[in-house]
Amino acid sequence: MRLAEIFGANVRRVRLKRGMTLESLATEAGLAYSYMGGIERGQRNPSLNVAERIAKALDIDPVTLFSSTSSVS
């Protein structure tokens, strides 16, 4: 699995665990809804600044979102 796919899957997993909609996460992170969807599907490669904004919106350490072995909480 590519890093973009791992990141996107982790974002989706945490977002759902937090009970957030894709739209609410996009708004909280200051991103377009369609761009956020592309990130979750592994079709977009977010910059580190964008990854940090997403992590902040999810209230999670950004490094965790890149891990393929950790259990993302």
Which tens digit of pLDDT belongs to each residue from 12-69?
Answer: 999 999 999 999 999 999 999 999 999 999 999 999 999 999 999 999 999 999 998 6
By CB atoms closer than 10 A (0-12, 13-18, 19+), residue 52 is middle
Domains of the chain by residue range? 3-66
Nearest-5° Cα angle at 19, 16 to 23:
80
DSSP designation for 69 = S
DSSP designation for 50 = H
Q: Which CATH class name applies to 3-66?
A: mainly alpha
What is the reported pLDDT for 44? 95
Q: Which helix H or strand E contains 26, and what residues bound it?
A: helix 22-29
pTM: 0.90
Question: CA–CA separation, 27 vs 64, rounded Å?
Answer: 21
What is the reported pLDDT for 34? 97
